[in-house]
């Protein structure tokens, strides 16, 4: 979970910013898919931890991009519960 939600996000973000800079794109937008669980702690604490990391990484990137005087933006979208296999197995079954 950590590899996908945190490390994958870090690697993809690094490469996206690098490609934008190489292509002279100064108005790009990095959009990270987060979760409402990236802002609160409920069940599934490991998942919440990875999504809290997404929240912090997105904000940290936003600040770094501002400091470097670029117009590339960093945003996290944090949807609520979505009925997926993951949700049905780990949330519904644990109730």
CA–CA distance, 42 with 37 (Å, rounded to integer): 7
Residue whose C-alpha is closest to residue 76's, from 24, 15, 13, 25: 13
Whether 90 is catalytic: no
With beta carbons less than 8 A apart as the criterion, state whether 91 and 42 touch.
no
Q: Which of 47, 81, 87, 90 is catalytic?
A: 47
Catalytic center residues: 47
């Amino acid at each position: 979970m950590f590899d996908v939600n945190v490390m994958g996000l870090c690697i993809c973000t690094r490469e996206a910013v690098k490609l934008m800079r190489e292509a002279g794109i100064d108005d790009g937008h990095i959009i990270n898919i987060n979760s409402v669980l990236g802002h609160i702690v409920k069940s599934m604490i490991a998942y919440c931890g990875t999504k809290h990391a997404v929240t912090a990484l997105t904000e940290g990137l936003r600040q770094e991009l501002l400091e470097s005087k670029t117009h590339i933006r960093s945003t996290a979208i944090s949807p609520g519960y979505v009925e997926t296999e993951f949700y049905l197995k780990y949330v519904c079954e644990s109730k």
